[in-house]
Amino acid sequence: MNRKDFGEDFIWGVATAAYQIEGAWNEDGKGESIWDRFTHTKSLNPFKQRIYQNQNGDIACDHYHRYKEDLDLMKELSIPNYRFSLSWPRIFPDGTLSSKNQKGIDFYHRLIDACWERDITPNVTIYHWDLPQALEDKGGWTNRDTYLRFLDYTDFVTKEYKDKVPRWFVLNEPLAFTVLGYFLGIHAPGRKGFANFYPAVHHVTLAQGEGGKIAKRNCPDSEIGTTFSCSYIEPVSQDGFLGELHKNAAIRFDALLNCLYIEPMLGMGYPIDRLPSLKVLEKYFQEGDEERMKFDADFIGIQNYTREIVKWSPFMPAVWGTIIEAKKRCEKTTEMGWEIYPEGIYHLLKKYASYSGVKKIYVTENGAAFSDKLVEENGQIRIHDVERINYIKSYLEQVLRAKKEGVPVNGYFIWTFIDNFEWAEGYRPRFGIVYVDYETQKRYIKDSGYWYRDFLLGKEV
C-alpha cells in the first residue's frame, strides 16, 4: 500500500481537541468549561471516580504554551493537515458575545498562523465538547437558548478566521457528547436520563444545521462540514425467533448510533421509522425547525474505531437491546476495550456514501490506544508501537477498498497526534503517534509516527 494509491487529491492529517491537549484552563481570561467543572467535582460515590484517578485537563499536554514545538514535530513528520478545535470558553468565557476575550481570540490567530508558516493546513472544529459552564448553569444543551448562543459563537469565529481556514467542522461527534454527557452522565456535564437527552439531541441538531449554514455564508470559499461518530453494528445472531429479535435490535442501534444526526441534516428527519422512541423529539419542535435542521454540507466526517455486536434485551427501554462487550467475545482488544475490526470502516463508508446528499467523506478520526512503553536504545528513547501501526494499516486498506469501489472518501486523519487527556479515562489510554511524558512534558515520536512520515513521503509500507 502506498500513499499514491489514494490519489493526489486525498488529504492526510492528524486530529486533536482543545480540552484534551491545551491545558491553561484558567489562563489569559479563559472561562470555565463543563469539563473543568466536571473534572474538578468529586464523585458522590466513594467507589466510583468520575475520571480515572481523579485526573483533569488543567495542564494536559500544555499545548497552549507548546504549540510551536508540537507543530515543529508535525512538520518533522511531514504531516500536511492539522485538525484542532477552538475552545468556546477561551473565546467567550461565559458563552456570550458580550464576554469576548481578546487574548483567547489572539491565541488561535497565532496557532493558525504558525500552521501556515510550517506549510500545515489548519482544519478547525468549532465545537469539541467544551461548553462554557455559564451556559450549562442555564441548562446547557437542554436549553434551546444554548443553540442560539452557539450560532452567535459560530458566526463570530467563522468571520474572525475565515481568510485563514479552508476547512471547517461544525460539531465533533454530537451523538457521543449527548449520550455520554446528557443521558449516561459519565461525561461532562454529568446529566442523566431521557428528560435531558431528548431536548439536548434536538437543540444540538438545530445547532448543526443552522451553524453549518452560517459558516457557509461567512466562508463561501471554504469547505464546511461536520463529523459523526459511527460504529458498524451487527446482531449476535440472525437464526430463529431470537435471531429476528437480535436483528431488529441491531437496526434500532444503527438508527441511534449512525443515523440520528446525519438524517435530519440531509432533510430526512429523525430515524423514527427504525427507532420509534425518537418520536418524543417532536415535542421539542418549534415552527420552522425542520428547515433549521437541514444543511447542505460540502462533506461529512466519519469517526470510527470499532464495531458493536448487539443482542435483544427486554431490560433496555427505547432500544430494547444491549451491546455485548468486546472483552467478552474477543481475545484481543485495544486499551479502551474495543474490538479491532477494520472491515467495519469499509461498511460504514459504503453506508454513508449511499445517502444521496453526501458529496464527500473524510475519515476525520481513526486510531487506537495501546499500552506504549518507553525503551532506551543506544542512548535514545524509542516506542515500538507495532500494534498501532498494524491497526492503522489495516483500516487504511479498508478505506482504500471503499475508495476503489467508488465511495467519495477523500481524506484521513489519525486520532491522535499526541497522547492526551482521554476524557473519563484520564491519561491512561495513549492514542498518540507522539508520546507525552506528562511529568516533564517531553515528547517522543513513536514508531507509528515515523511510519506515518514514511507513508506520507510515498514509501511503500
Active site residues: 173, 365
Task: Give how far Cα 411 sits from Cα of 13, 36, 299, 454, Å.
Answer: 8, 32, 10, 17
DSSP β-bridge partners for residue 82: 14, 122
Residue 344: Cβ-neighbour burial (10 angstroms; 0-12, 13-18, 19+): buried
Task: Give how far Cα 7 sits from Cα of 367, 390, 406, Å.
Answer: 22, 22, 13
CA atoms within 13 A on the CB side of 350: 12
- Amino acid 322 reads T
The answer for residues whose C-beta is within 8 angstroms of residue 350's C-beta and 6 or more apart is 402, 405, 407
- CB atoms under 10 Å from CB of 436, counted, come to 22
For 317, phi then psi, to 5°, come to -55, 155
The bridge status of strand 299-303 relative to strand 361-366 is: parallel
Listed residue (281, 254, 274) closest to 352, CA to CA: 254
- CB atoms under 10 Å from CB of 39, counted, come to 23
The sign of the dihedral angle between the CA atoms of 89, 95, 101, 105 is: positive
Left, alpha or beta for 162 (phi > 0: left; psi -120 to 50: alpha)? alpha
